[in-house]
Structure 1
Amino acid sequence: MDAREDFHRTVQLLSALALYAHTFGADPDFVDAVGPALAVSLPEPPPDAFPSGCDPHDGPQHPGGQP
């Protein structure tokens, strides 16, 4: 699996977990255990993941971000 596939697969898993977390009967302990593990395992995006001239580190301050 190359870096691009790894990145996209991890994003898909995080998305699926987010959907699961909002379903009736979801196990919150599972979500609490797996969510952070998936987030930590998210690799750096591949170099061509963003359009040319786009800096993913430049943009609006997100809630909870460092000032």
Structure 2
Amino acid sequence: MVKTKWLPLKDISPITAALKKENKNAYYKFRDNEEVCINILKEFGLDESGHIINGHGSRCC
């Protein structure tokens, strides 16, 4: 088994940090748009009092 050596955040160079920057996809454009959220709720047969819960589960195996 190969062990990974994790470096403290302060030891990561600015170039490496720039390479690890997350590219934003369409989710970030639409998540705060009320009309889009209402349409998502309607697609699931819910009215405007419904809730959209974002998140992910941990990946296993």
TM-score (norm 2): 0.23
Which has the higher Rg, Structure 1 or Structure 2?
2
Structure with higher helix content:
1
